[in-house]
Structure formats: structure tokens, C-alpha cells
Amino acid sequence: MHLKGRILVGPDDVRDEMWVVGGRVTHERPRTTREFTTVEGWVLPGLVDAHCHVGLDAHGPVDAATAEKQALTDRDGGALLLRDAGSPSDTRWIDDRADLPRIIRAGRHIARTRRYIRNYAHEIEPEDLVAYVAQEARRGDGWVKLVGDWIDRSTGDLESCWPPGEVAAAIAEAHRLGARVTAHCFAENSLAPLVEAGIDCIEHATGLTEETIPLFAERGVAIVPTLVNIATFPDLAVGGEKKFPRWADHMRRLHARRYDTVRAAYDAGVPVFAGTDAGGSLAHGLVAEEVAELRKAGLPAVAALSATTWGARDWLGRPGLTEGASADLVVYPEDPRADVRVLAAPRRVVLRGRVIG
């Protein structure tokens, strides 16, 4: 395959052409007489959805046929690398499918007893946290997912789930086993203890404040804001208002300042990556919408693109369009740097060197 146009190898590395030989990228013209299929357009590395859940729906684990549809939907939207931020399903069979996205798994969610969505997580008490983190670190692909806060029925509001000592020991054990740790966090009060404990990433991070943002920046703790998911907070608040009015009010306030929160984090130097939270109550295939949301939050276009391409792949330890890398790429008819909404309509999706669509 011969790719012509503008090859966005990196934010500051734009080339006129590139080839795919044997399913891999090369920037050197091949010495062969064979004819190459030519594809023209603006080329990006396959997009990254850094927070999704293949094998999960609103009620818990799903069958393989449903998981396959989820992965195909992500693929057709250009998301060719997925960080599965917690799933009770065994999706290892996807690794054997050349037509499905690559997945980086975080194992199954680890939550406090009765402090998360039913059928999603291992629900345990703090004394068992280290053992379960070690178990999921061995099962995953270099990540472990904690539930950092949730509704506490005794207070009727979001509260931290784990004592600092136990979570610090658990994160240290994950790091010893070569895994990074991330956590679901909506609230303000769960963040600083997790960062002090050595956590690597926070999902959602709606509770960031001017006090905690500098701590994130100093420690290099990344956030995946999942803004397409945060958009559901008002509806969630309506559904839970009668039983948990404090929580409902809290969720509305977090939603109201979501864009300001993300922009302040970005401006402070906190690494920001694109993730959709697809697979729970949200549909798959929303990564383009998430990038558009990052732009609404005030991220520059190149930064929003990097959050789902170059920067995200580097953060996850996966190559982009570098020499010899697997040819996982997306072709667009127009410059996505000029308008990130172009991501919603790829001209071609190429996975492992094969044109998928």
C-alpha cells in the first residue's frame, strides 16, 4: 500500500508519503516492481480510546458475540487501540483476531463492598486489597483498575473507598509486579490520598481543584476525563435525587464545571488522554466525540489529537507510524488539525496493514 497526502507521524513530523509492506510501516520507498494500491488523504495513527469496556454492558458481563460487536464498532470509528479500564469478561480471544482492535486490559474492577455497580467488580474490604490488586496485575496487560470513590449510603454522598495505608500498599505491590494503577474518581476528597499513595492515573477526575491540580502535575499523574460520560451526570442526578439528594447536587456541580476542570488541568501540565467509558451505559464508537469534547474544554486542536494518537500511544507504550510499526492507521479526507470533527468520518481504516473500511 502506498499512502500519499499528509502523513501525521507526530505533531511536528508531517510527511508526504509512506508505504505498508508485510503489514508494517516503512518510510523508505520499497525496492520492488510490484504495484501498490494508493490511498490518499490525511493519515493518523490508529486512534486510542484510553477508557472503554469491551465485554461489559449496563448489567455486567456480555457474551462473545456482543463483545465482538463492541470491538467492531470501535474499530470502524477509527479506534484501533483500546485500554479496557475494567471488565469481568475474558476477552483474550480478541487477541487472535486480526480484524479487531488491540486491547490493553486492566483486569476486573476492584471496589469496596456494595460501593459500585452490581456485577462489575470484585467487591472486597480493605484488608484484601493488596491480594486482589496482585491478582489483577497478573491477569491484566500492565494496568489495574480501582474504584476510588462511590456513594456512601451512610452519608448519602460520594466518599473515598480505601484507607490511605491499604491503598499505598496495594499500589506498591502493583508497581512491584510491573503494573500501573488507575482509579475511578468523581469526588474531590478521594484524589490527594491516591496521588500521595503513588497512583499513575485517574479516570474522570471531575473532582480536581486548584489545590489538587498542582499535585497531579508535580507527580505526572494522568487523567482520562471521559467527558462524553460526564455529560450524563444531570440525568443520573435526576434518577438518584429522591434517595441521595446530596449526591445528586454534588453530581450537578461537578458536571457544571467539567470543562473548566479539564482546561485547568491541561494548562497546569497534567497529561490528558481521550477515553469514552463505552461499554457500561454508553455505546462504543464515541472516541471522535470525546476528542471534540476536549476541544470544547479548551485544549488546542493538536493537543486534543495527541490525546487520542501520538501522546496516548506513547503513554501506553505502543508505537504509532514509526518505521517497522504495525500499520494501524486511519485516513481522513481533510486535515483533522483544522477541525477535529473530521475524526468522526474516516475515509479508510487500516488494521495490521489490511484495509478494513
The residues facing 24 across adjacent strands are 21, 326
For residue 97, which of 68, 76, 125, 73 has the smallest C-alpha distance? 68
C-alpha cell at 139: 491477569
Name, in order, each residue with C-beta under 8 angstroms of 188's C-beta and a sequence gap of 6 or more: 207, 208, 209, 212
d(CA 123, CA 129): 10
Strands (E), the chain: 2-10, 13-21, 24-26, 38-45, 47-52, 56-57, 60-61, 79-84, 102-105, 110-112, 122-124, 143-147, 149-152, 157-160, 180-185, 201-204, 222-224, 329-332, 348-351, 354-355
Structural domain spans, the chain: 1-46+320-357, 47-317
Burial 278-300 (b: 16+ CB within 10 A, else e): bbbebebbbbbbbbbbbbebebe
Q: What is the CATH number of domain 47-317?
A: 3.20.20.140
Burial of 353 (0-12, 13-18, 19+ CB in 10 A): middle
Strands 348-351 and 329-332 come out as antiparallel
> Domain 1-46+320-357 falls in which CATH fold?
Urease, subunit C; domain 1 (2.30.40)
Q: What angle do CA 266, 271, 273 make, to 5 degrees?
A: 100
For residue 62, which of 82, 43, 38, 90 has the smallest C-alpha distance? 90
3-state helix, strand, coil in the chain (%, to 5): 35, 25, 40
For residue 86, which of 250, 201, 208, 172 has the smallest C-alpha distance? 201
d(CA 240, CA 1): 53
For every one of its 357 residues, what pLDDT tens digit does the chain have, with 9 covering 90 and above?
A: 999 999 999 999 999 999 999 999 999 999 876 788 999 999 999 999 999 999 999 999 999 999 999 999 999 999 999 999 999 999 999 999 999 999 999 999 999 999 999 999 999 999 999 999 999 999 999 999 999 999 999 999 999 999 999 999 999 999 999 999 999 999 999 999 999 999 999 999 999 999 999 999 999 999 999 999 999 999 999 999 999 999 999 999 999 999 999 999 999 999 999 999 999 889 999 999 999 999 999 999 999 999 999 999 999 999 999 999 999 999 999 999 999 999 999 999 999 999 997
d(CA 303, CA 236): 30
For residue 178, which of 200, 160, 149 has the smallest C-alpha distance? 200
The pTM of the full predicted model, rounded to 2 decimals, is: 0.97
Helices then strands (H, E): number in the chain?
A: 12, 20
Q: Indicate the SS3 state at residue 230.
A: helix
